[in-house]
Structure 1
Amino acid sequence: MNKPLADRMRPIKLEDVVGQEHILSKNQILNKTLQAGHITNMIFYGPPGVGKTTVANIISNMTNKKLYKLNATNASIKDIQRIVAELDSFMTMNGVLLYLDEIQNFNKKQQQSLLEYIENGKITLIASTTENPYHYIYNAILSRSTVFEFKLLTKSNVIEGLKQVIKRINDEGKTLVEYEEEALDYIATASNGDLRRAMNALELAMYAAESENKEQVFLTIHIAQESTQKKVISYDKFGDQHYDILSAFQKSIRGTDPDAAIHYLARLVKAGDLNSICRRLLVIASEDIGLAYPTAITIVKSCVDAAMQVGFPEARINLAQATLVLATAPKSNSVIEAMDRALADLDQKDIGEIPTSLKDAHYKGASDLGRGVTYKYPHHYENNYIQQQYLPENIKNEKYYGSQNNKMEQRIFSYLEQLKKQ
């Protein structure tokens, strides 16, 4: 059975790997480590199709250790036990290099089964994962390994990789592949940084473009469009991508960048994650806008309710309105600052009792206990205000709310100052 083009055309030298210059270029740590012949336990972390398996294969060819490959999706402890059983044999006298793909699918017990042999050096582990290793990999494994993050490939990286593959095919002499630059550009754009997906599209396009003699292929933009799947935006509702996009969404709104805010909203809409969008918008309205524009929360709540009622695709319009209201509004974090200061005092200080004058006095005998006796009802005084102590005695001078430099809070500040002068 013919291997897929992506497997047949894997680079066999580090210098042929596209992208990942931050770890693979000459002066970077991974390249320097490998050139020195020092192979340590490593964890490759990054999205699919960016070179993790390719680099692991190249490393395995640079060592004289016995290579074993496992995929944690379908491997078990028995597979590890079979490898362990061969340790110290003639075949493994130089040690074992274990490439474990998708290590996040191993549970804690399965990961722990490797510990002893990683620690004594009989097994050198190279693991790859698309999930954040600091969330999914056992700490004892992490502490004995170096984590290398593989970045999403740029469009130019993907085009370079496709051209490398086409050159190799042409050098083999069996098929001559020619192409329009627009065809490779379209495939690279649709692959969204995943070279494997781009190569699968290229392979399909080559079959579609074969001439009658099957020895010459010409890739046009039309063939590329027909052979390429709809562009997929990376998104995992329970993984890093989910939180990274939500984080970028909120920070763009907080930074008063409506264009970036709408961009990240579009990613979330594309993923169909209505609940997460609504929840985050409601939080932002109070956390980042707050008293600078107090009615923002009312507008956002109306937009969120409308979005939940109509659902996608129309909900995108309500969500965009809420996003732009928040992104263009004046900003203040005085609400969350005040709340967090008060909560911190509850944890860190002896706050003392509620003043007796403020305690509930709506029961028989309350006055005998002094409850509410000295309380002054503000509505009986001018401007509905009278100075009296509301905080507990131990923290009576604490200040939690600080008005910020926006029109609304400056008005609040002036109002409070006038009352105090009175």
Structure 2
Amino acid sequence: MEFFEPQSQEDLFPVQESSDIPAAPLAERMRPLDFDEFVGQEDVLAEGQPLRVAIEHDRVPSLILWGPPGTGKTTLASIIANKTRATFIPFSAVLSGVPELRGLLKTAQQRRKVSGQRTLLFVDEIHRFNKAQQDAFLPYVERGDIILIGATTQNPSFEVIAPLLSRSMVVVLQSLNEEALRHILTRALSDTKRGFGSSRMTLTPDAQRLLIGYGNGDARSMLTGLEFVVGQYAKPGKPITIDQPQVEQALKQKALRYDRDGEEHYNLISAFIKSMRDSDPDGALYWLARMLEGGEDPKFIARRMMIFASEDVGMADPQGLLIASAVFHAVEVIGLPEAQINLAHGVTYLATAPKSNASYMGLLAARKDAKEKGNLPVPLHLRNAVTSLMKDLDYGKNYRYAHDDPKGAKQQTHLPKELEGRRYYQPTNSASPTDEAEGLNSPW
């Protein structure tokens, strides 16, 4: 990629003449030009908020803009570009590599030495640079040669190196709510220069609600959907009203935003597990539906249910693991869409089952001792005497065979001498009757 010194801010985020506007996608044409047009994110960008004041007075610190697609990260960068006196340069981590970046950073360093002017560098999808590549920014940020604005859809705690995070302000942009999307949709329908205001096309209220739902918090997705719908039905010079069935037909393959490798993947599975743990079948079914609608692998869900059955239900209902295992088998054999019924069956069973994490917590405690105490010797009576020498060394001596002497077997120690009396398994109050009444008294 060839880098050049922008002559003006218009070179970076060009405003097209009205005759050229139709060539650009609707979402790009409707991109807000200033804070008066910016919708949403009031908690960080409302008038008087510190970040907005800093932008308006050209005192922007290094920023990491974190949020889902279509929430205003690039738009905010373009507004900053229009307000800063620094040399503003956009850079894509997708289209360009580290060699180009290093050249740009050296130019920024030289610019500051010669003229005292800083460079405001906007890096889109900064998470595409690995942690070693992100190191290239550090000396230039530390010296003040550049003000870094990084945009990412991924959690910066995992995707941006700690030294950059500590030198930046993380700005969290939320998915747009229904009111914000409705405002953006109305403006696109009424704007005569950049939107469809000069056309003779209207959308029914139900059609508008459907498009807002299609956006799912993403303004760009909603506007792209609107443009597609209009392209399907609108005819130049002829009035037309587009209704809900027509929008449904045009957008029948609606897919909820879901990234199997991104943070939303982990957010949804976390909400799913916590709902089952808290014995809320309604919440668990909702998050199950969200994952299925987003295209999650049903076998991944079933595997997590098997883990949950042992970790969180445990001995309170030992049948839980059998149910979860049967669900996994059903998913493998049947597949979607029918296997979603098996998943729902298993989810409601596990969510309403009594809960006990005694087995899991016992394992954690035992592993802690195993790690901290080292290789403690196995008591002689528990060792297997397979040779005469081993018998002479008292291997297996005085071992009580449980089937011949259940009481004696229960009373003999099964831990190393240093750990005698240690209790790892602590039945909980929600344990099953078998677990509570019989568990500690049975030979096993």
Residues 145-224 of structure 1 aligned to structure 2 (within 5 Å): 145-169=168-192, 174-175=198-199, 178-210=202-234, 212-213=236-237, 218-224=241-247
CA apart distance, 1:85: 5.0
Alignment of 1:231 with 2:231, yes or no, is no
Match of 2:95 in 1: 74
Taking a change above 3 Å as real, the CA distance of residues 307 and 394 of structure 1, as seen in their structure-2 partners, is same
Q: Secondary structure at the match of 1:231?
A: coil
Residues 1-400 of structure 1 aligned to structure 2 (within 5 Å): 2-26=23-47, 28-35=49-56, 37-84=58-105, 86-87=107-108, 88-89=110-111, 93-169=116-192, 174-175=198-199, 178-210=202-234, 212-213=236-237, 218-228=241-251, 230-270=253-293, 271-349=295-373, 352-381=376-405, 386-400=410-424
Letter matched to residue 281 of structure 2: P
CA apart distance, 1:3: 1.3
CA apart distance, 1:149: 1.8
CA apart distance, 1:116: 2.0
8 Å Cα contact 1:190/1:229 also seen in 2:
no
Letter matched to residue 437 of structure 2: S
- Stretch of structure 1 that moved more, 85-94 or 275-284: 85-94
Q: Secondary structure at the match of 2:64?
A: strand
Using the alignment, how far apart are the partners of 2:231 and 2:441 within structure 1?
Answer: 80
Using the alignment, how far apart are the partners of 2:241 and 2:107 within structure 1?
Answer: 50
Identity level (%):
32
- Stretch of structure 1 that moved more, 91-100 or 48-57: 91-100
Taking a change above 3 Å as real, the CA distance of residues 102 and 417 of structure 1, as seen in their structure-2 partners, is closer
Taking a change above 3 Å as real, the CA distance of residues 9 and 349 of structure 1, as seen in their structure-2 partners, is same
8 Å Cα contact 1:350/1:394 also seen in 2:
no
Q: Secondary structure at the match of 1:354?
A: coil
8 Å Cα contact 1:351/1:394 also seen in 2:
no
Using the alignment, how far apart are the partners of 1:47 and 1:367 within structure 2?
Answer: 68
Using the alignment, how far apart are the partners of 2:421 and 2:49 within structure 1?
Answer: 55
CA apart distance, 1:171: 9.5
TM-score by length of 2: 0.86
8 Å Cα contact 1:272/1:312 also seen in 2:
no
CA apart distance, 1:140: 2.7
TM-score by length of 1: 0.90
Using the alignment, how far apart are the partners of 1:253 and 1:292 within structure 2?
Answer: 14
Taking a change above 3 Å as real, the CA distance of residues 252 and 313 of structure 1, as seen in their structure-2 partners, is same
- Stretch of structure 1 that moved more, 225-234 or 246-255: 225-234
Structure 2 segments unaligned to the other structure (5+ residues): 1-19
Using the alignment, how far apart are the partners of 2:341 and 2:442 within structure 1?
Answer: 44
- Structure 1, residues 361-403: CA drift from partner, whole Å, max 9, x if none? 2332222111111212232236685412111111112111111
8 Å Cα contact 1:292/1:330 also seen in 2:
yes
Using the alignment, how far apart are the partners of 1:416 and 1:206 within structure 2?
Answer: 68
Taking a change above 3 Å as real, the CA distance of residues 27 and 381 of structure 1, as seen in their structure-2 partners, is farther
Taking a change above 3 Å as real, the CA distance of residues 54 and 92 of structure 1, as seen in their structure-2 partners, is farther
Alignment of 1:403 with 2:427, yes or no, is yes
Structure 1 segments unaligned to the other structure (5+ residues): none
- Stretch of structure 1 that moved more, 153-162 or 46-55: 153-162
8 Å Cα contact 2:309/2:321 also seen in 1:
yes
Match of 2:8 in 1: none
Taking a change above 3 Å as real, the CA distance of residues 92 and 84 of structure 1, as seen in their structure-2 partners, is farther
Letter matched to residue 82 of structure 2: N
8 Å Cα contact 1:192/1:233 also seen in 2:
yes
Taking a change above 3 Å as real, the CA distance of residues 244 and 163 of structure 1, as seen in their structure-2 partners, is same
Count of residues paired in the alignment:
418
8 Å Cα contact 1:206/1:217 also seen in 2:
no
- Structure 1, residues 114-151: CA drift from partner, whole Å, max 9, x if none? 22222211111111111222222233322221222222
CA apart distance, 1:411: 4.1
Q: Secondary structure at the match of 1:67?
A: strand
- Stretch of structure 1 that moved more, 265-274 or 62-71: 265-274
8 Å Cα contact 1:351/1:395 also seen in 2:
no
CA apart distance, 1:65: 0.8
CA apart distance, 1:301: 1.0
Q: Secondary structure at the match of 1:380?
A: coil
CA apart distance, 1:4: 1.3
